[in-house]
Each structure stands twice: as C-alpha cells, then as structure tokens.
Chain A
Amino acid sequence: EADIYQTPRYLVIGTGKKITLECSQTMGHDKMYWYQQDPGMELHLIHYSYGVNSTEKGDLSSESTVSRIRTEHFPLTLESARPSHTSQYLCASSDPTGGRTEAFFGQGTRLTVV
C-alpha cells in the first residue's frame, strides 16, 4: 500500500565525502519527513516539509540539509560526512486529507561513515 522508496539501503563511505540519500513517494503526499535512528534508540525528527519549496528543521539538530523541489522527492544531503553521522535514516510521508492520519515509512538507509 505504501509507496515510498529510499536509496541506497546501505552505504559505507569515507570521512569527508559528500552524500545524498534519496527518498521518493508516489502517493502525492504534501508532507514528508526525515528521521534519524541510532541503534536501540528512538527516532528523532531532523527535517520536514509541508510542500514544494518548504523545508524546516526538526527537533534534533542535524548537519544535513534537505530540499523539496518536487512533491514526490525529498533528498537529504551531507556535505562532508563524519563518523558521527553513522546512523539509520528513515524517510516518511503523510497526507491528513481524507482522514488518513498515519505516516508511511520507507525501508531506511543505513549509513556508515568510516
């Protein structure tokens, strides 16, 4: 039912590299989110968007940036990766119209910075 895709699923990259994590959804949802999840920990919201050209920082401070040029696409970028960025990143989308209240999640990108 949920059509939200994240690529890559796993990424191992060296310190200082620029990376972009991709997130796309085919449901036409206006609202999209990025959550960061460390092992054994809760998810923390790091970015969200309520529509095209709208981006906001979440509750957890992050050195990453996001963009929302198209409704279906919400990429996350790290200009210079560091070991402290090692984590799982989960993308989600939602559309409260029509009574749907839940967020749909992608399968996540597990990032390891060495």
Chain B
Amino acid sequence: AQSVTQLGSHVSVSEGALVLLRCNYSSSVPPYLFWYVQYPNQGLQLLLKYTSAATLVKGINGFEAEFKKSETSFHLTKPSAHMSDAAEYFCAVSEGGGGNKLTFGTGTQLKVEL
C-alpha cells in the first residue's frame, strides 16, 4: 500500500521568501512521485515529477523538489515566492510504474503575502 503525508495544511510566506512544502511518502516499491498545483475552481496541473532518474527535479514556475530515499521525502521548494504562487499544492505517489493510479496527500494551501 502507498500513502502520502503533507505536513502543514496551510503555509504562509512573504513575497520573495523561500517556499518549502513538505511531503513524505510510503511505498512498497520504488515510487513515482509528483507535485500538482490547483488554482481555485481549476483542475490539477503538473509541477514536476520524479521517475527514478535524477533525484533533484526541476519543474515549471521555478519550483524544484528533491527525492530523498533515506528520509522517504519529496519536499517542494522555490527560492523566491511570487503572488501568483498562491494555490493548493498536492503531492502524489504512484506505484508499479508510471501512469498508474495516484494516491494524493491532503494538500497544502500556500498563501503569499506582500
């Protein structure tokens, strides 16, 4: 069985500050890991993905995430927050290869303040 834990349902940062959204996973097989972003009343958009290649993954909009097997973590970071980053962020895991069923975390609402 696979699961995802996102610490902090709400995170607030100042514009220009570092963004750090935490994600820990459990999986019985090498996982595929994803970060998705959801803007209000929208579907999910892929930010980045880990698929057993490089452990540091770069995504869109300046976000990146590092896969740490020893810590079973896949935290999302961005060096400098922008107002447009305010959204809901979901970490997800997929077992058994890509394109399969996703298990999501509970999401983290990111607020960016002036």
B-side interface residues, number (CB < 8 Å):
25
Residues of A whose CB lies within 8 Å of any CB of B are 6, 9, 31, 33, 35, 40-45, 48, 58-59, 90, 92, 94-96, 99-108, 110
B107 and A58 form a contact (CB under 8 A): no
Residues of B whose CB lies within 8 Å of any CB of A are 9, 32, 34, 36, 41-46, 49, 51, 90, 94, 97-107
- B43 partner residues in chain A, CB cutoff 8 A: 6, 90, 105-108
- A33 partner residues in chain B, CB cutoff 8 A: 101-102
Give Cα A103–Cα B36 distance, bound, in whole angstroms. 10
B101 and A101 form a contact (CB under 8 A): no
Q: Given A42-B90, A42-B105, does the pair A108, B99 have CB atoms closer than 8 Å? A: no
Give Cα A42–Cα B70 distance, bound, in whole angstroms. 25
